[in-house]
Amino acid sequence: MNTFLRRVSVPIEYLLVLLYIFFEEIVWERLAEPLYERIRALRILQRLERGVSALHRGVILLLFLALFLLVEGAGLAAGALLVGGYPLYGMLLYALKIPVAALTFWLFRVSREKLMSFGWFAAAYERLMGWIAWLKASEIYRRSMERLADLKRRISMLWKRIRERFSGEGTLSRRLGRLYRFFKEKWFGGKR
């Protein structure tokens, strides 16, 4: 029985780790977090923060849940479109949900105390954070992050070499310059 459970749980754990890394490393860090920081810096949102803090906690909860369900629903619909053979529509819908997700995160940040005053909400949040901590503590996650760091390092080195090749100091750039000057002199008789 233990062997069966292990065979079933390991692929599920891999899938969960890969999904978490994808959403954390790519979607959040590269797309949503920079957008969240821009949204947070807007003066209108600074005024809205004061307005949100004056709202009743039930209104904040309804607003948060509406935004959260909209974001999650759009994510599921985008996934269904991708799997259903409409990748362009799926990617477009996913891209459109990112600003709403950033707004939802902002709302959570500015109204966290009021949202956490609901016992069931605080318990769900703590359970989610516990699950994420468990996932990050797993060997699969640690190895995946090491591989991802190695991949990032390799891509960075490759990108650096490509830039060097096409910069004024790289050998390819010098060769192309010499080739250009050679043909210019042969075909056009030197400088023009």
70-82 residue pLDDT tens: 998 998 898 889 8
- Tokens 């949900």 belong to 97
What is the model's pLDDT at position 158? Answer: 84
User: Of all helices (H) and strands (E), which one includes residue 72?
Assistant: helix 57-83
Distance, in Å, from the CA atom of 22 to the CA atom of 74, rounded to the nearest integer, reads 17
Residue 105 has pLDDT above 80, yes or no: yes
Contacts of 82 (CB under 8 A, 6+ apart): 90, 91
Measured from the Cβ of residue 117, the count of other Cβ atoms closer than 10 Å reads: 13
- Provide mean pLDDT across the span 119-135: 90
pLDDT, greater one: 140 or 191: 140
Q: What percent of the chain has pLDDT over 70?
A: 74
Model pTM above 0.85: no
- Provide mean pLDDT across the span 23-34: 66
Residue 30 has pLDDT above 70, yes or no: no
Considering the chain, what is the average pLDDT of its residues?
80
CA-wise closest residue to 37 among 92, 94, 103: 103
pLDDT one-digit tens code per residue, 144-160: 888 878 878 888 888 88
What is the model's pLDDT at position 16? Answer: 63
State the DSSP code for 92: H
